[in-house]
Amino acid sequence: VKNVLQKHFMLILTGFPSMTDFDPFYRELVKCVVDVPQVRQSLGGVKWATERIEAIFREFNEKIRTATAEEVVLRHKRAYYGRISSVVKQLKNDFVFLDEARKALKVLPTFKTSLPTIVIAGFPNVGKSTLLKALTGSQPQIADYPFTTKQMMLGYRPEGNTKWQIVDTPGLLDRPLNKRNNIEKQAALALKYLAKVALFVIDPTEFCGYPIEDQKHLMKDVAKSLEVPVIVVLNKADLANAEQLAKATENMQNVVIVSAQKEQGMPELVEKIRKLLA
């Protein structure tokens, strides 16, 4: 019994990832899906139980070894199993919690944190996924992100001896900060550890359904939360007129005008990204 329980407990202790070993991006994400202090407390409980079972075994092993009557041996065995059972029962809630935490950690998105990462942000329907496709030259991959009802889009662009990881963030960086719940805020803040550059896409035609001023306000929110260089990408240049483009660029810096649909302006955008990543 002792060996089986201790082996099981050690598998829990050694199999659970160490939070301190996580990349800062994942360390922040973990806070969205599990109660980190409770994880530490529950793992501490498992460690205590492992040591306690060893101590109980030593105590009763000696009692049984020196017992001279069979009924005494049986009495010690019943007491031993009772004490072990009591220890295990004390950890019932911890086992349930750790199992749920393990399942939650398994659904975290898989990003290559070692690669230069560009995050695409902006209101819905401004052309973010089209821009991602234009930059990568292929259909984006789907990346589950359990903090939003929508899935992230992920693509890669070869660049010299490495490649860029480009991420579209539907459900997180597509509405004002005050309209996000706490988990969404935390998940969005985690992106600042992943992103090296942000592309904020604006639709100057306003066909997306959001006025230019609202788009500019969201851009400021994103820039503040990510704390990385932001390139303002004025998309749909093939549909916008001169007046709309002028209004969209007013008081804006670091602007690139493109048409992601027609892949116009991509070389200029890529060069600007390259300089910021240098």
pLDDT at 130: 92
pLDDT at 32: 79
The per-residue pLDDT of the chain, averaged, comes to 89
Flag the least confident range among 83-97, 100-114, 237-251: 100-114
List Cα–Cα distances, 91 to 14, 35, 51, 80, 220, in angstroms. Answer: 17, 17, 13, 18, 47
Model confidence over 193-226: pLDDT tens digits? 889 999 999 999 999 999 999 999 999 888 888 8
- CATH number attached to the domain at 117-277: 3.40.50.300
We find that the CATH architecture of domain 2-106 is: Up-down Bundle (1.20)
Tell me how far the alpha carbon of residue 253 is from its chain's centroid: 30
Least confident span in 15-29, 42-56, 63-77, 144-158: 144-158
- CATH 3.40.50.300 occupies which residues in the chain? 117-277
Q: Residue 86 above 90 pLDDT?
A: yes
Report pTM.
0.75
pLDDT bracket for residue 143 (50, 70, 90)? low
Q: Kind of pairing, strands 162-168 and 152-159?
A: antiparallel
Q: What percent of the chain has pLDDT over 90?
A: 64
Average pLDDT over residues 181-192: 71
State both tokens at 9.
């407990």
What pLDDT sits at residue 33? 81
Q: Give the Cα separation of 14 and 108 in Å (integer).
A: 20
Instruction: Report the distance separating Cα 20 and Cα 38, nearest Å.
Output: 15
Does residue 34 carry a pLDDT above 80? Answer: yes
- Residue 5 pLDDT more than 70? yes
164 pLDDT exceeds 90? yes
Q: For position 54, what pLDDT does the model report?
A: 95
Q: Are the C-beta atoms of 228 and 197 separated by less than 8 Å?
A: yes
**Portion of the chain with pLDDT greater than 70, in percent:** 91
How does pLDDT run across 41-83, given as a tens digit for each residue? 999 999 999 999 999 999 999 999 999 899 999 999 999 999 9
All CATH 1.20.120.1190 domain ranges in the chain, comma separated = 2-106
Position 122 pLDDT exceeds 70: yes
Band (191; pLDDT cuts 50, 70, 90):
confident
pLDDT, position 140: 72
Which pLDDT score is estimated for 48? 96
